[in-house]
Structure 1
Amino acid sequence: MSADRAVLHSALERGEEEGGSVEFKERLSRELHLADGRLESLAAQLRHRVLSGDGTATYVVGVTDDGGIAGIPPEAFSESMDVLSILAEEAGAHIEDVETWGVAADGIGTDGVESGAESGAKSGAETDVDRGLVGVATLTEGAVLDVDDDHIVVGTAGHVDHGKSTLVGSLVTGTADDGQGGTRGFLDVQPHEVERGLSADLSYAVYGFDDDGAVHMDNPHRKSDRARVVEESDRLVSFVDTVGHEPWLRTTIRGLVGQRLDYGLLVVAADDGPTKTTREHLGILLAMELPTVVAITKADAVDDDRLETVEREVERLLRDVGRTPLRVERYGVETAVEELSDSVVPVLKTSAVTMEGLDDLDAMFERLPKVATDAREDFRMYVDRTYSVTGVGAVASGTVNSGSVEAGDELQIGPMPDGSFRDVEVRSIEMHHHRVDRAKAGRIVGIALKGVREEELERGMALLSGDADPTPVRSFEAEVMVLNHPTRIREGYEPVVHLETASEAAIFRPEGGQLLPGDRGTATVEFKFRPYLVEEGQRFVFREGQSKGVGTVTDVGGDGE
């Protein structure tokens, strides 16, 4: 049998015992099991199971009292997990992990499926979902995680093969690279990325700090390891690792524009120096007014003279765009933290092989304050990714822009292609594969939703509080600046606009009829195919071929269709 099925069979074989840590439940419902008196007794039972298992209990759901495979509908299983989460919280515990199986003719499906809100896992057993689900929930002593407001999010950028993913891999694991980009493998999530050594989509990584220093991941591929770091850390640093290859520039823009980032980390390889892509990525970081640090990577691969030359090239590049470089080696980490701003850019030399400079980066990330704040109190999150998870349903993933969200909240999601918003309910929330009851602004989370199918969700949609009154628009006015264009932008110019997590073709109508490279001006921007939720003050990037520019929304029409 597979390792996953072994989890279920082991729990069934152990069975329920008076002093054991295993509990069988066919299903749990809000109406029956959360009623007065019943909640307290079930929470006490759960507490007993957790204590009997030295801090861990196993709940098998979808089975009879004697351990017979029954299977329950996905909706009933999801409700059971919600009720179990409430019981666990009452008992001072939380759900650590859930695995589910579809019930087939022989009683159990052929594959196991992780049901975490961000796992996105799918199984061959899904063909039997209509026959029912059986699942194993692992519960652990201790309240559900609630990290503090110092959680910062860092977006990486830089040319292909300049060592972004390798540097981040060494930071989050605390281990040196083998000189072949080995630590990069912790972040490459698609098989072709691992094979080619290139990243083709956004990757996410996390590490943290406690009173004793950095809290690293032993194996970032294990969701339990990420959860451990999140749980043990007093302060978290999340990385949105973007891609450096020109064909995937739109993905890099999505990572830098569509996430709620606090800081940028631009890498420049010492053996190559600043390139055209380096300049483009720096331009996007600065256009988004993101405080940025420059790491010169691969310091071990060149001699001191070459390293000094590249440092001067980086400083010249920064001065050319009106920024003041600050050498961390000369002025120290404390000064770099104090001076880092829209106008001052710390520069330091690093090597993932020798670990040079990584202690300074650790010290900076441990001290840098949270900056991406939004005064709005109501909940808002733009959808970046969507999943469908067996036993959970549709999942929307993204960075919380403002407010907070809790399991059980009533929200709205949209706009749909016709401009409408759909009422949904929050089933559960996960952050870096760790189930949480509540998520605040700045957190990268996956939110499982009731009331919408995954195929109805699209990147660029907004998830809002239930009492919001959103007005989607097809067009808006903006102040724009043309960074690069072979000729001039005229009426009818059609670039792709990257605004929050949306990437949509749009039609430009410049005031005065045209904009030249380097020009600043106003323009009407109209989405070609569907409306989006757009607000005054939002910044965006537009691109078409080699043409690129940035803009700020100045007026929203509220025209719906």
Structure 2
Amino acid sequence: MTADRAVLQEALDRGEEEGGPIEFKERLSRDVHLVDGRMESLAAQLRHRVLSGDGEATYVVGVTDDGRVAGISASAFSETMDVLSLLAEEAGAHIEDVETWGVDEDGLVGVATVREGSILDTDDSHIVVGTAGHVDHGKSTLVGTLVTGQADDGEGGTRSYLDVQPHEVERGLSADLSYAVYGFDGDGAVHLDNPHRKTDRARVVEEADRLVSFVDTVGHEPWLRTTIRGLVGQKLDYGLLTVAADDGPTETTREHLGILLATELPTMVAITKTDLVSDERVQEVERAVERLLRDVEETPLRIERHGVNAAAEEIGDVVPILQTSAVTGTGLDALDDLFERLPKTNGGDGDFRMYIDRTYAVTGVGAVASGTVNSGTVEAGDDLLLGPMPDGSFREVEVRSIEMHYHRVDRAEAGRIVGIALKGVDEAEVERGMVLLPADADPTPVREFEADVVVLNHPTRIGTGYEPVVHLETVSEAAIFRPEDGHLLPGDHGTTTVEFKFRPYLVEEGQRFVFREGRSKGVGTVTDIT
């Protein structure tokens, strides 16, 4: 066995023991192991294994009773995990983690860790914060320091604690959305001890009474499209704009602030890197931020002067500003206090809906759709509709399981950032911009809709045939504009028909969107989909 199979080899070497925590299963199937009393018997066996292991059992799948590695197909492994999950639920336990290895050409063998206790159900005050700001203004470093409680090394070391790709760490630039989480309990902040371990994120989700999730966006201008996707496509409660004290507000700062305010997101501003400059420079940048806010008719509120209580109570009507340093810790206690106090803003009442932001395939599980739940709730085992497909149709799928920050949950509510494993569809068929809905929904995808728009910036005038990219929920699609009056000028507020160029999407009246083409940009609201 190779080194990465150490967990599997250890379980095989230990073997099944009477009264022990390890169980070998070649495979489990619904039509054999969930009928004629088998489910109750196997659930009792699982419960015995869990109790024997002081609350944790190990199920080795794809091996025979005598410990010989046989391997089973991916579909058989997936069904086995479904059945094992049902058995665990029946026994008052849950699957904590699954590791898999390939056998021969198409076979799989895996180790599932089963823990005592039902699957986690999270708090209903969980807030989601989207970060924005110019490149190298310390967004990711600030978030990394908040979620770990560790001071930065002055080189942006804590930014590596976010869910980023290796090439992003190497270059020191974020190229896609990344995610982080921390929380609070009765004793204060619950931090990540080892952010590089997914089990540590799961621990925070399990221990905290209140959670704060961050969607960290991209500050570099070439990836403005990704930033817009993060601020528009997620079910955010608040925006956090960073401005570096050694640089001050930039054109990108103004753009990101415009997007935050255009989407009506309650926003706060953190002046970062205060350890690098004099107090006089910090005050100068703070005044520049205040002028920037007043220029767009927003009211700044200095937290240092008015306090966290006022900021938490008035955010939305005002834009709180505070000075921070990820190196010295300046302002971080105030940010912790603020995040602990801020109320949930997106209740998300109504039927379940989730626009898909990312897709990936997990060996032995299948297609996983990731995104932020827009409204309603979803539970493992629910039947859903997925679509629209390129032809406008919807596919029936089933929820295999739900994970939030690597912790298995039995249900997810509005505002949760989750990964939903889907049965009935291949990962290649799931695309960003699709939506998950209840099975009894009757969705009508559209290629065209009417909208009220405001042109924020454009070098000339927008006429019929103008083709920007429209960012609506997680949809990022080229579209054709046909203004009602024939054209729109910078600063104009008018009505236009918007037609997606390539395929239909699910669009609803009242949804807000951002459109962009080069340096041109504007915002809009869907008014008619008929």
Q: State the match for 1:99 in structure 2.
A: 99
Paired-residue identity, %: 81
Q: State the match for 1:373 in structure 2.
A: 347
Unaligned stretches of 5+ residues in structure 1? 105-127
User: 1: CA distance between counterparts of 2:478 and 2:23?
Assistant: 53
Q: State the match for 1:79 in structure 2.
A: 79
Q: State the match for 2:43 in structure 1.
A: 43
Indicate if the aligned counterparts of 2:354 and 2:371 stay in contact, CA closer than 8 A.
yes
Residue 493, structure 1, aligned to residue 463, structure 2: no
Indicate if the aligned counterparts of 2:163 and 2:180 stay in contact, CA closer than 8 A.
no
User: 2: CA distance between counterparts of 1:34 and 1:451?
Assistant: 20
Q: State the match for 1:148 in structure 2.
A: 123
Unaligned stretches of 5+ residues in structure 2? none
User: 1: CA distance between counterparts of 2:337 and 2:236?
Assistant: 19
After TM superposition, give the deviation of residue 33 of structure 1 in Å: 2.1
After TM superposition, give the deviation of residue 41 of structure 1 in Å: 2.1
Residue 64, structure 1, aligned to residue 64, structure 2: yes
User: 1: CA distance between counterparts of 2:36 and 2:318?
Assistant: 59
Deviations 1:209-242 (A, max 9, x none): 1111111011222111111111111111000000
Residue 200, structure 1, aligned to residue 175, structure 2: yes
Q: State the match for 1:175 in structure 2.
A: 150
Indicate if the aligned counterparts of 2:447 and 2:499 stay in contact, CA closer than 8 A.
yes
Q: State the match for 1:115 in structure 2.
A: none
User: 2: CA distance between counterparts of 1:365 and 1:392?
Assistant: 35
After TM superposition, give the deviation of residue 476 of structure 1 in Å: 0.4
User: 1: CA distance between counterparts of 2:166 and 2:177?
Assistant: 14
User: 1: CA distance between counterparts of 2:419 and 2:67?
Assistant: 32
Secondary structure of residue in 2 paired with 1:383: strand
Q: 5 Å matches for 1:504-519?
A: 504-519=477-492
Q: 1:151 to 1:188 in 2, by over 3 A?
A: closer
Deviations 1:346-366 (A, max 9, x none): 100000000110111111111
Secondary structure of residue in 2 paired with 1:459: coil
Indicate if the aligned counterparts of 1:417 and 1:530 stay in contact, CA closer than 8 A.
yes
Alignment equivalent of 2:420, drawn from 447, 463, 467: 447
After TM superposition, give the deviation of residue 401 of structure 1 in Å: 0.8
Residue 164, structure 1, aligned to residue 139, structure 2: yes
User: 2: CA distance between counterparts of 1:393 and 1:494?
Assistant: 36
Indicate if the aligned counterparts of 1:188 and 1:199 stay in contact, CA closer than 8 A.
no
Q: State the match for 2:373 in structure 1.
A: 400
User: 1: CA distance between counterparts of 2:14 and 2:34?
Assistant: 27
Secondary structure of residue in 1 paired with 2:7: helix
Indicate if the aligned counterparts of 1:193 and 1:200 stay in contact, CA closer than 8 A.
yes
Q: State the match for 1:242 in structure 2.
A: 217
User: 2: CA distance between counterparts of 1:67 and 1:188?
Assistant: 37
After TM superposition, give the deviation of residue 2 of structure 1 in Å: 3.7
Deviations 1:6-29 (A, max 9, x none): 111110110111121100111112
RMSD: 1.1
Secondary structure of residue in 2 paired with 1:480: strand
Q: State the match for 1:275 in structure 2.
A: 250
What residue identity is the alignment partner of 2:182? Y
Indicate if the aligned counterparts of 2:162 and 2:179 stay in contact, CA closer than 8 A.
yes
Secondary structure of residue in 2 paired with 1:51: helix
What residue identity is the alignment partner of 2:343? P
Residue 416, structure 1, aligned to residue 389, structure 2: yes
After TM superposition, give the deviation of residue 188 of structure 1 in Å: 5.9
**Normalized against structure 1, the TM-score is what?**
0.93
User: 1: CA distance between counterparts of 2:142 and 2:266?
Assistant: 19
**Normalized against structure 2, the TM-score is what?**
0.98
Q: State the match for 1:229 in structure 2.
A: 204
User: 1: CA distance between counterparts of 2:2 and 2:231?
Assistant: 40
Deviations 1:271-301 (A, max 9, x none): 1111000000000000110000100000111
What residue identity is the alignment partner of 1:94? H
User: 2: CA distance between counterparts of 1:551 and 1:220?
Assistant: 38
After TM superposition, give the deviation of residue 38 of structure 1 in Å: 2.3
What residue identity is the alignment partner of 2:201? R
User: 1: CA distance between counterparts of 2:115 and 2:4?
Assistant: 19
After TM superposition, give the deviation of residue 389 of structure 1 in Å: 1.4
